[in-house]
Structure 1
Amino acid sequence: MLADDSASLWAALERAGGGRICVIADNAGRELLPDLVLIDHLLDSGPASQVVLYVKPQPYYVSDATMTDVLATLERLRAAPSAHGHAIGRRLHHAMASGAFVVRTHPFFSAPLPFHDIPADLRAELSGATMTILKGDLNYRRLVGDQLWPPTTPFTATTDHFPTSVTALRTLKSDVVTGIDVTTVARLDGTEPAWRTSGRHAVIQVRL
C-alpha cells in the first residue's frame, strides 16, 4: 500500500453519519463481489442511509461490471453456502427493494472522457453525496486526468474538479499516479522500475 487514507475515509463517513454514498464500480466477477460486501457494510453499520452503485451501460472493457453482473452476483450471494454470505445477499436484496441500495448507469461511464467532463445531469446526480468511492485503475486515470503527473503531485490537486468528496481504491496498473511521497518514489524507482504497472501496489486516496 503506497498511500493509505483509509482512516480519513472512515472518519469522514462517521462524521457525516447516514448520508448518501456513491460507488463507481470497475470490474465484474471477483471484484464486484467485495464491492457488494463493502456496500452492505456501509448500510448495515451506519455510515450510509443510501448507497448508489454506478455501473456501465455496456462493457468498455470485457470485464466491466453492468447491471446484469450486479443482479447475478447478488443471486450468488443469496445462494451462498456460508451463513455470512447468505446474510449479506439477503440484506442487499431487501435494501434494493426499499431503495436504500440503488443501481444506476449513465452513457458517460462507457465514454472515453475524463471525469473533468462529467455531463451536467450526472454531476447533478452525484452532487450532495457524502462521498463518492471510485474503484479501479481506469476510473483513477479518468479522475486525475490520465496525465503523466510527477507521482508526488498531490492527489487533492488533481481531483478538486470532482463534485463530491472522493475516494480512490486502486491497484496500480498504469503509469498514472499521484499523491506518493518523495521517499517512497525514490525507493521504488531505485529498486522496482516497473512499480507503476506491475499490479503489486495499491492506494487508498481521499480528497474531502
Structure 2
Amino acid sequence: MSNENDGAPPTQATPQAEPRESEQLQYSPEYPHYPPCSPRDRASFAYETVSKRWPVILTQVIDAIYRACDSGTYATPEAEEEGKELIRKVGKLKYNISRNAIMEPIEDDGGANIELYNSMLSFLELQQQNMWFTAPWLYAECYLYRHLRTTFAFSKHWKAFDPFRGQKERAFKEMGKGVYDLAEMMHKLDTEKEDLDINEQALEVLFSDMIQMCLWGNTVDLSLLTSLDVDHLAQLQQVGAAANSARSDLILRNDTDALWTHVRQIKNARLDIVLDNSGLELFTDMVLADFLVTHTPFFSEVVFHPKTIPWFVSDVMPADFFSLLSAMTTPHYFGQAPSPSHEQYVTSLATRWQSYVDCGVFRLSSPPGQAEGEHMGEVVQENGVDWWVGPGVYGLMDENEDGIRALEALRGSGLVVFKGDLNFRKLTADVRWPPHTQFDQAIGTLAGRFPLLALRTNKADVIVGLREGFAQELDQKDKDWRWSGKYGLICFCPGGTVAH
C-alpha cells in the first residue's frame, strides 16, 4: 500500500483558479481540455470529501450492518456471521482510502457497468492515477458506491440490503414542516384551478415559484450531513414563495424566463425527472410534477428516473419512491401536524399521486422490485436505467450501450430535469471549466438533443454558466460558495423534438 500522502501533494491550484499550462497533463479521458476536479488539490471540496466525508459515511454503513444484525431479517446466526464479514470488508475499504491504496478492478457480481468501470480504471492506471487521492473525484466517488454494492452482492443474506435506508427514513420523518407547508399550498391551488386556467400571468409567476421550490429541495443531501445533528434539518425545510423570494439572490444563474418560453409552447408533453435525493427533495420533485400535470396544460405524464443500487447515501431507489407514498398516509409519521386539516392535505396529496401511479401518469423508469439493491440481477436492461449508476459523463452517453438506451428513453420528452449536484457534475464532466463557460458548451453532445433543465444547489467544485468575473467576486465574499449548498443554479438548454 502507498503512504497516505502519496499522490496528494500540496495544493496545485485553488478551485477558483483556471488551469495552468503545466496542469494540462492531468486530463480527463472524457474532456481533455481541462483537468478533472480531483483530491490532488487540497484546497478543493474533492479533497475534503475523500479525506473526511467518505470515512464517516463508511462508518455509518458499518453501524447500519450492526443495527440490522440486532433485529428482523438479519438477526439469524448465519446472517450475523455474514454481517461480521461485511463489516470487515467495509472496514478494509475505509482503511484503503485513508492509505491512498490502489483501486482494484470491480469483481463481476452480475450487476451493471462493471466493464465500463474497469476500462476507465485501466486508463487511470496508465496515467498513474488509479489511487484514491489521485483518481478524478467523479470517477472515484462513483467507484466507491459501486464497489460497496459489490461487497453486498456476493453475500447470501444481504443482497437486498440498503445500508442507507434507515438514514433516509429518519431524515424524512424530521421534514414534517416542509411536507405540511407544501401540502397546504397544493390544497390551495386545487381551489384556484379555474382561475389559473384563464390567467397565464399568474400561472407564469406560480411556475417560477415551483421551479425555485424544486431547486431548493436539493439542499437536503444526507451525504453532506455527516457532521450535523437533526436539528439542522429544520433549516433546510424552508420552501414556498416567501422562502423563494428571500433566496432569489442566491441563484447564480437563473434561466427560468427561457424555460417558461419553452414550456408555454408545448401541450400534453412528457416530463422526465432524473432524480437525486429521496425524502424531502423527492417530495418537492413530486410536487412540481403534480403541479405541471394537474394545474397546467403543458404536461400529461411524468417519468421518474431513480437509481438501481444504493447510491451516494440518499439517492432515490424505487423502494424509496413507494416508501414516500406510504409515509404520507401513515398517521403521525411526521409527528404532530399543525392541524387536522394539514394531515388531511398530505393524505389527499398521496391519494392523488397513488392514483397517478396506478394509471401510468406517474411512472418509474425502473419498475418496482427490479432494482439491483432490491433483487440482484433483475435490472431491466433494455431501458437504460443502469446508466445512472455508472461512472460515465453524460456528454458521452452515445458511446456506451447503457447510455444509448438511456438517451432513447429520453427522446421526445417535453423537458428532462436533471436534479442535484451529482447530475450536474456528470453533465459538465466535473472538470475545471472556466466559470464563465457557457452551459451548453459544458454539457457537450447533450446540448440540443432534448430540452434540458439542471436544478442544482452548489455542493462541488465545478461551476459553469456565470458571467465573466462573477466567480472572482464570490471568492472574495464567500470562500465556500462552490460547495456550501447555499447557492443554486437554474440552467436551461433548449432543443430536440417534443412528442405530443
TM-score by length of 1: 0.93
Return the letter of the residue paired with 2:327.
R
- Residue 183 of structure 1 deviates from its aligned partner by 4.5
Higher relative contact order, chain-length normalized (CA < 8 Å, sep 6+)? 1
Q: Is the 8 A contact 2:394 2:443 kept in 1?
A: no
Matched letter for residue 386 of structure 2: P
One-letter code of the match for 2:355?
H
Is structure 2 residue 480 aligned with structure 1 residue 197?
Answer: no
Structure 1 residue 207: Cα displacement = 0.5
Larger helix share, 1 or 2: 2
Q: Give the C-alpha shift of residue 89 in structure 1.
A: 1.4
Structure 2 match to 1:157: 441
In the TM superposition, what is the alpha-carbon distance from 1:160 to its structure 2 partner?
4.8
Correspondence 1:100 to 2:352 = no
Amino acid aligned to 1:123: L
1:169 paired residue among 433, 455, 465: 455
Distance 1:122 1:4 in 2: 27
Task: Look up the match of 1:110.
Answer: 389
Question: Contact conserved, 2:304 with 2:365, CA < 8 A, in 1?
Answer: yes
Secondary structure of 1:128's aligned partner: coil
The alpha carbon displacement at 1:179 in A equals 0.4
Unaligned runs of 5+ in 1: none
What is the CA–CA distance in structure 2 between the aligned matches of 1:73 and 1:175, rounded to whole Å? 31
- 1:17-45: CA deviations, max 9, x gaps? 22011000001122111111111111112
Match of 2:352 in 1: 91
Aligned partners of 1:91, 1:7: CA distance in 2, in Å? 30
Superposition pairs of residues 1-208 of structure 1, within 5 angstroms: 1-46=251-296, 47-79=298-330, 81-105=342-366, 106-118=385-397, 119-162=403-446, 163-208=449-494
TM-score (norm 2): 0.40
- What SS does the aligned partner of 1:20 have? strand
Q: CA deviation at 1:78?
A: 3.9
Any idea what the Cα deviations from partners look like across 1:54-107, whole Å, max 9, x if unmatched?
A: 000112212111000000112223447533322321221111111111111311
SS at 2:313 equivalent = coil
Is the strand fraction higher in 1 or 2? 1
3-state SS of paired residue (2:272): strand
Distance 1:79 1:138 in 2: 31
Q: What is the CA–CA distance in structure 2 between the aligned matches of 1:146 and 1:158, rounded to whole Å?
A: 10
8 Å contact kept, 1:24–1:55: yes
Question: In structure 2, how many angstroms separate the alpha carbons of the residues matched to 1:158 and 1:84?
Answer: 42
Amino acid at match of 2:268: G
Find the aligned partners of 1:166 and 1:84 in 2 and give their Cα distance. Answer: 32
Q: 8 Å contact 1:21–1:51 — kept in the other structure?
A: yes
Aligned equivalents of 1:82, 1:179: Cα separation in 2:
41
- How far is the alpha carbon of 1:144 from its aligned partner? 1.3
Contact 2:395 2:444 in 1 (8 A): no
Q: CA deviation at 1:193?
A: 2.2
**How well do the aligned residues superpose, as a CA RMSD in angstroms?**
1.6
Q: Which moved more, 1:164-173 or 1:12-21?
A: 12-21
Structure number with greater Rg is 2
- Structure 1 residue 3: deviation in Å? 0.9
- For 2:375, the equivalent position in structure 1 comes to none
Question: Across the two proteins, how many residue pairs are aligned to each other?
Answer: 208
Query: Could you tell me whether the CA contact under 8 Å between 2:411 and 2:450 is conserved in 1?
Result: yes
Does the Cα contact within 8 Å between 2:458 and 2:484 map onto a contact in 1? yes
Displacement after TM superposition at 1:143 (Å): 0.8
What 5-or-longer segments of structure 2 have no aligned partner? Answer: 1-250, 332-341, 367-384, 398-402, 495-500
Letter in 1 for 2:416: T
**Aligned with 2:481: secondary structure?**
coil
**C-alpha distance 120-181 of structure 1, shift in aligned 2 (>3 A):** same
CA distance in 1, matches of 2:474, 2:394: 29
Tell me, in whole angstroms, the C-alpha distance in 2 between the residues paired with 1:41 and 1:100. 13
Judge conservation of contact 2:270–2:301 (CA < 8 Å) in 1: yes
Q: What's 2:22 paired with?
A: none
Please report how far the alpha carbon of residue 194 of structure 1 lies from its aligned counterpart in structure 2 after TM superposition: 2.1
Residue identity opposite 1:26 in structure 2: D
**Does structure 2 conserve the Cα–Cα contact (< 8 Å) formed by 1:133 and 1:166?**
yes
C-alpha distance in 1, partners of 2:361/2:286? 13
